[in-house]
Amino acid sequence: MHPHSLNSELGQLLAPIHVFLQCDTPDEWIAEARKPEQLAALLVDHANCEMKAAMSAHSLVRRYCLPKEKRKLLPNLDFYKTLDALPEKGEVLGKQTLLDENRRVFDELAKNDLLVKMVRLIQEELHHFEQVLEIMAARNIEYSSLSASGYARGLLQHVRTHEPAAIVDRLIIGAYIEARSCERFARLAPYLDEELNRFYISLLRSEARHYQDYLTLAADYSGQNIDERVAFFGAREAELIQAPDEVLRFHSGVPVGS
């Protein structure tokens, strides 16, 4: 694609995200994140974020697409890698041959929009996770343990405890996490080497779609206007992004000492 066409497409992709987010990533975060000595930690945290995104979506499928007594039976994340790509009409299994037990569980899944969007999201996040691991391996960066920032926890503490309010809040939070990822990939990409620049730009389309999917599902589950709740979480998200932070992570706040 011609550079001008790419820039135009990315501009259209990011415009609604900038409207959705209540603040831009602080320049202090970019200044710290672009330092070569931070790259290893950022890549490890990126891998963790992709896996956590897949696990969160898997949890939603288990909780809201299966009868309560069958939730523990849902196959683990590796299962999603074996699924065929999902047709738009929402058939979950495609032509995949399953073990009898797994087939019985999936036969009981509510074939709803949440399932379709989350299975696709899980597949894409797992693929991104593996891509990050490949990049790390090629650069001799060890996939070591790394503490998380308080970002997701800071949002999840505001989730209401009754339904459907709980799932609406979780879906809105999912939208903000994906939107912030998209915004930061775009902001950081120009400061990285050519391989990572291409990689992060390549992630923008799926991250932008994920944020829109989460927001659409939140509105569907609520059955009423969610603007006020979206604005509430937008304000909390902006507070976390602009607050001083002791660690540098993909969703951390302003690095202390910047």
**CA 161 remoteness from chain centre:** 22
* Mean pLDDT of all residues in 135-161: 94
Percent of the chain surpassing pLDDT 90:
65
Section 9-36 average pLDDT: 94
Q: Look at 153 and 95; give whichever has higher pLDDT.
A: 153
pLDDT at site 97: 42
Interval 39-53 mean pLDDT: 95
* Both structure tokens of 121: 């999201």
Rounded to whole angstroms, the Cα distance separating 124 from 210 reads: 10
Q: How far apart are CA 242 and CA 252, in angstroms?
A: 9
Span 188-241, pLDDT tens digits: 999 999 999 999 999 998 889 999 999 999 999 999 999 999 999 999 999 999
Q: How far is CA 175 from the centre of its chain?
A: 8
* Of 33, 46, 213, residue with least CA distance to 129: 46
Tell me the C-alpha to C-alpha distance, in Å, between residue 201 and each of 23, 58, 108: 21, 26, 38
Sign of CA dihedral 132, 121, 247, 18: positive
Strands (E), the chain: 244-245, 254-255
Q: What is the pLDDT of residues 71-110, one digit of tens each?
A: 666 666 676 666 554 433 333 433 344 445 555 555 555 5
**Whole-prediction pTM:** 0.86
70/160 Cα distance (integer angstroms): 24
Q: Would you put residue 57 in left (φ > 0), alpha (ψ -120 to 50) or beta?
A: alpha
Q: What is the pLDDT of residue 183?
A: 97
Is residue 246 helix, strand or coil? coil
Name the band, by pLDDT with cuts 50, 70 and 90, for residue 162: very high
For residues 180 and 208, give the distance between their C-alpha atoms in angstroms, rounded to a whole number: 10
Range with the lowest mean pLDDT among 65-69, 147-151, 184-188, 245-249? 65-69
